[in-house]
Structure 1
Amino acid sequence: MFGDSHEHQNPFAGIEWDEEKVYPTLGAPPNNWSREQTFHNILRKLSTSEVEGSDWDPESIMEYAFPPGLIRRPEKYHREGIPDPLVISEHDKEYVRRWYPPLEDSPAELHPFQSVELTLAAGEQSDFAIVPSETRMYEIGTFGNSDVVMVLFEEVGGELRYFTAVDDSGEDSNGRLKVRLFEGRRYVLRTRLYSTWGPGKAALMLW
């Protein structure tokens, strides 16, 4: 789920990988992962103590897509692979509501073209308010050697409603959101540091 590890690493999923097919597949473009990266991002199972809940949700936005032939069991996913979810599952929405409760304090406002440093430890979160001065397409991005989960909400009637999200964990890249925001509306961006993979600090910008 958002800010946590990926669904295929769920110890309750019952996935049996064909490891000698997984390594060369993910070692090729576009991933170009080493065996160590592939093991860490795909094959490594989490401890049951690291998992919130018990069920595997293959429809979760946190599930990677895999082609047929990489999974031995369950048989369905051996034949069909796991498609890219592309949408937020009902379980995802439930998790977001539980782990991103209503704000208690007023978050700092994020202004266009102003870089904000994210002074976070792994697992910590910062919230930012966005009040667009004009209706247009915006981009929100992170910078630095870190994996940051961004979840954007729109404030409607005093409540936060999920808008969109991006999770760049497991990738040597930074997350980007491209969204159309409307003048006069208020949005809240919640950023959570998943991990760091190099020197330097993470930063955030809206443009």
Structure 2
Amino acid sequence: MTDEEILAEFRAAEALLQGHFLLSSGRHSEYYLQCARVLMDTERAGRLAVALAAKLPRDLRQAIDVVISPAMGGVIIGHEMGRALGKPAMFVERPTGTFEFRRGFALAKGAKVLMVEDVVTTGLSSREAMETVRAAGGEILAEAALVDRSAGTVDLGVPFYPLVAINFPTYAPDALPPELAGTPAVKPGSRSIAA
């Protein structure tokens, strides 16, 4: 899929929102990508996962033992990536604030892992989930994501394969442009705000 075809999928799902948004990173933005909307159509989710899997080098695709994603945002695309790659898919979640394996999920010692996210902005969730995987004995080979909105600055410590890069400006709370400063911020994501 081309970048324009990918963005067309987001537009068709009405997943590109405009307003004043408070991101999980604590930064503010005029735009928000609601990946849950683009993934709620199972056919669309499958197409996007196949396109994302195709971005991975062949040797990497063959080396993967399991796909793991952080809950909540990464669960659907992680599952679809598992299907696209023919690999098991699990997720880690944070019922008490720290990621952990639950629901009977267990990682084999030395398992080769592809981490999958919906959107990467600062990479905080990804790095935290990777720590959990490593503590369980897994080896992170790479990360894949639907969207990189880090402006190419995120460092995950492993190769990173986004399907598309979408770089909307983000602002610190004390540096809001006038058009955002005068409107209340909406928190559309699933994670608490970073301290």
TM-score of the superposed pair, with normalisation by structure 1? 0.31
> Rg larger in 1 or in 2?
1
Looking at secondary structure, tell me which structure has more helix per residue.
2
TM-score normalized with structure 2 length: 0.32
Relative contact order, higher structure (CA 8 A, sep 6+): 2
